[in-house]
Structure 1
Amino acid sequence: MARTAEKVRDLVAEDPEMRDAITSLLDHEDETVEWRDVNESLTSGQWGRLIEKGVLTEAGDGFRLDDPDAVRDGLTGDNEAAYEGGSDVELPDDEESSWTTYDKLAGVLSLVMMTGYYYHPIRGTVGPAIDLLLGPLNALLPFFVVVMVLAVCTGFWTSIIQANLMDFDKMSVYQERMQDIQERQKAAKERGDEEALDRIQKEQMEAMGDQLGMFKMQFRPMVWIMLLTIPVFLWMYWKLGQIDQGVELILPLIGHTHLKDTIGGFIPAWIVWYFLCSMGFSQIVRKGLGIQTTPT
């Protein structure tokens, strides 16, 4: 309701004659109207703006006011306090997105294992431990096939973790609020309302702090993904130290290359192969299981 009233106020601020045009439409609030029914009360341009803003919505063969009560509020200013108060989008409670003790522990363990990329003793400990699980698979299949299998597995559990730990409804609320602020800021600039611009800019600064809540929601599943993925990477890194340079594969746009070769002078070929497999199979898994990984 508040959004419709706000749209009406913006339209009247842009074109004062719009007040009479909208008032005339209120006489038909319970009816479906077409342009020819009201062309004596408003111009075609005003009719188009009302449709563009969503004040008039399609209903069968004609149009009708989306929310007559909100339209009246917009014309009379009864809802002005709500308008000046800022966005009507209710933000989720930050406490609901707080990390649990297990989340924090997973984050610490992930950071510790991440140092294994540079600190050999950690890699030398994690690699043999994971080899107890993956060694039999590596004995049956060529290493580049093992990398592909691991890419499929990591892509699968990444999708599952994101679907279960990330609240996309809350993410949508944060994005909706920022969009609401931007729309009101644009409308205030168009009508030259400096006072409203100052209020909206203050609200925008406050909203920047709310982005921390969205960041926490985004990063929470990442620590669990890293906790499962980093050991796999450390094992592959460790295992490559024991594999002959002669292991060869063909990469798209690259052609024949060896797993230990670098592409572009700095990216190991096995990592490129892993990400190609992971991205491709992750999309298949998400489509197949109907897993949502972005806000609606």
Structure 2
Amino acid sequence: MARIEQKVRDLVSSDPEMRDAIDTVLERADDGDVRWVDVKGDITSGHWGRLIEKGVLVDGDEGFELADPEATRAGLEEASESSSSPSVSKSTVDTSDLGDSSWSTYDKMAGVVTVALFAAYGWKPLRDIIGNGMDLLLGPLTDILPFYAVVMVIALATGLYSTLLQANLMDMEKMGKYQERMKDIQRRQKEAREAGDDDALDAIQQEQMEAMGDQMGMFKEQFRPMVWIMFLTIPAFLWMYWAIGVGGNADAAYALEPVVLPLVGSVQWTEGVIGPMQAWIVWYFLCSMGFTQIIRKSLNIDMTPSTS
């Protein structure tokens, strides 16, 4: 199996101590079968786990067995040859603690509810139900503040919890490692092409394919806080839809005075000011962007992935 050879080479190149561990497993294997008790004390549990994780060891009749003993030996020999000849530099990125970015049950439930809330944008009965419900919370503000100030309060609240959710639900160190690993693979791939090392290039391309899982992990890291942000923000948006009268067959729940926007002047809330973008959404985004920057600076929260 060419894949087993490649996996053995990758394991040895990333951790030279894996050579002794694989040698020990080969020696102790009885007709391909080997158990942890057979090698315990001679290799570490971490090395044993890596062999199982990479598929070099698979489930057998009694314990585990080598997926392909001959390919494993061939991989060790090729690793020896490649280590004695000049080649491109090895990866210096520690990927041992990247793991998988899994969502909790609550994350998944929030995602389902968020998708359901999107239906309210196009379905007036549901929008009215949510709008009336949110009015119990936001309605009293309209009694003491002009509507443009109420939108500012909503923008401040959404900016605050969006920043806190991103800071607490996204592992910026892990995000940085995801990015660092991909940059490292691209760098070594370029070196292999320049050196004309086809074997190294094949190994790096195989590693690149395996690293595609990192891309999915990075996407899940980025999207997890967005689910909670939308879960909390969509009801506030639907209340503004309901209050202003946005959408088909919609009637404004409040009689609102025009709003004065910078560089635009006095306009109605549903009047388009930047292409199809209406005044209310432009005003909200202006307030949200400003408050978010102030909150991040005040709380010293950096949303840039950190690298070692």
TM-score w.r.t. the length of structure 2 is 0.66
CA distance in 1, matches of 2:157, 2:114: 18
Mapped pair 1:287 → 2:292: no
Separation in structure 2 between the aligned mates of residue 196 and residue 232 of structure 1, nearest angstrom = 54
Please state if 1:216 is matched with 2:240.
Answer: no
Asked if the contact 1:89/1:176 (under 8 Å) is kept, the reply is no
How far is the alpha carbon of 1:80 from its aligned partner? 7.5
Could you tell me which residue of structure 1 aligns to residue 136 of structure 2?
A: 132
User: Is 1:274 the counterpart of 2:284 in the alignment?
Assistant: yes
Note if 1:122 corresponds to 2:126: yes
Change in CA separation of 1:255 and 1:79 when aligned onto 2, cut-off 3 Å: farther
Provide Cα deviations, 1:77-134, integer angstroms capped at 9, x if missing partner.
56989966x6643153544x21111111111111111111111121111100010010
* Aligned CA distance change for structure 1 residues 159 and 246 (closer, same or farther; 3 Å): closer
Which residue of the partner structure matches residue 272 of structure 2?
262
Asked whether 1:188 is paired with 2:198, we answer no
SS of 2:270 mapped into structure 1: coil
* CA–CA separation in structure 1 for the residues paired with 2:183 and 2:152: 40
Paired amino acid for 2:290: G
For residue 89 of structure 1, the aligned residue among 91, 94, 97 is 94
Cα distance change of structure 1 residues 79 and 140 upon mapping to structure 2, 3 Å threshold: farther
Identity %: 53
Residue 99 and residue 246 in structure 1: after superposition, are their counterparts in 2 closer, same or farther (change >3 A)?
Answer: closer
Residue 265 of structure 1 and its aligned partner are, at CA, apart by: 3.7
The reply on whether 1:179 has 2:183 as its aligned counterpart is yes
Tell me the distance in 2 between the aligned counterparts of 1:78 and 1:103. 50
Counterpart Cα distance in 2 of 1:191 and 1:245: 72
Q: How does 1:1-296 map to 2 (within 5 A)?
A: 77=83, 88-95=93-100, 97-241=101-245, 242=252, 247-296=257-306
Unpaired runs of 5+ residues, structure 1, are 7-75
TM-score (norm 1): 0.68
Alpha-carbon RMSD: 2.7
